[in-house]
Structure 1
């Protein structure tokens, strides 16, 4: 249990701590964002829309953040589309991506883009259970590290190979830098 879990109002000035072994190299948290080697996940979501992925060198566990020379890890940013109450008192959250096909490290899920001072609650996203602030709402951004490398079509059902049969852009349109 962290200090920000015990006293959520501290999130206004103190970012929730990260488990360095679960995030890519050079990952830092701010009160509203996660930055990986200088790449703001908030800016990435603005630029690429959601869901989006960022992949970088994994951290060698137990080294205090030393990057691996051979292993990679990914981070996904998804947008909350809807929130509803579950009968057990938790929340059911629908997102614009799919976490069920990747090795999402759900214990490290975090809200980005705004600061919540509400206590965390159990949230079901697909088959996964995570802890997010109890005031999570449609439009919020959530980021989750992924053990290993994920591909965009693993987290975005619209980009699944079966969905690629119908082209969405004209043949002479320039390719996007974010895979859209």
Structure 2
């Protein structure tokens, strides 16, 4: 348990700790943003809307010495489209990205855009809510006051393309996925 988990009011002045090994290289966290190689994820959302992706080199020990050690890491930024309690007592968060085909580090999910002093609570994130049927599922700890419209940054292994995470709906006449407009 971290100090910011025990005393959430500390988040006003210091960010929650993070595991650098699952984030892209040159990642810096602040109290309300994640900055990767000088690119603010909050600013990225302003330019590209959600869901959006930032891909960079993964943090691999010795990777600056040997190019064969290079790997990719990505961060998906998604907007919360709903928060509710399920029938079995789980807190469920719906996001606007389809995460079924990516390897996400759900436990490293971070709130962007505002500082929350609410205690962290376990939730299940259902991804792909824009398609009508959520397809990705991951456990995370997010602030208890998480609400519709909040932004979440979710680190992922490997290179993730926007096409992979953009929710698709199904054309019921043909049974084929179609790109959401």
Aligned residues: 164
Equivalent position of 1:146 in the other structure: 156
Structure 1 residues 6, 49: closer, same or farther in 2, change over 3 A?
same
Are the counterparts in 2 of residues 78 and 96 from structure 1 also a CA contact under 8 Å?
A: yes
1:149-179 CA deviation, whole Å, 9 max, x = no partner?
A: 1111221124999425x9x6xxxxxxxxxxx
Q: TM-score, normalised by structure 2?
A: 0.82
Q: What is the deviation of 1:86?
A: 2.9
Q: Secondary structure at the match of 1:128?
A: strand
Structure 1 residues 77, 68: closer, same or farther in 2, change over 3 A?
farther
Q: TM-score, normalised by structure 1?
A: 0.83
Equivalent position of 1:53 in the other structure: 53
Are the counterparts in 2 of residues 99 and 128 from structure 1 also a CA contact under 8 Å?
A: no
Distance in 1, Cα, partners of 2:92 & 2:64: 36
Structure 1 residues 90, 162: closer, same or farther in 2, change over 3 A?
closer
Matched, 1:134 2:144: yes
Equivalent position of 1:163 in the other structure: 178
Q: Secondary structure at the match of 1:21?
A: helix
Q: What is the deviation of 1:91?
A: 1.5
Q: What is the deviation of 1:99?
A: 2.0
Q: What is the deviation of 1:122?
A: 1.1
Distance in 1, Cα, partners of 2:169 & 2:2: 37
Are the counterparts in 2 of residues 51 and 77 from structure 1 also a CA contact under 8 Å?
A: yes
Structure 1 residues 55, 118: closer, same or farther in 2, change over 3 A?
same
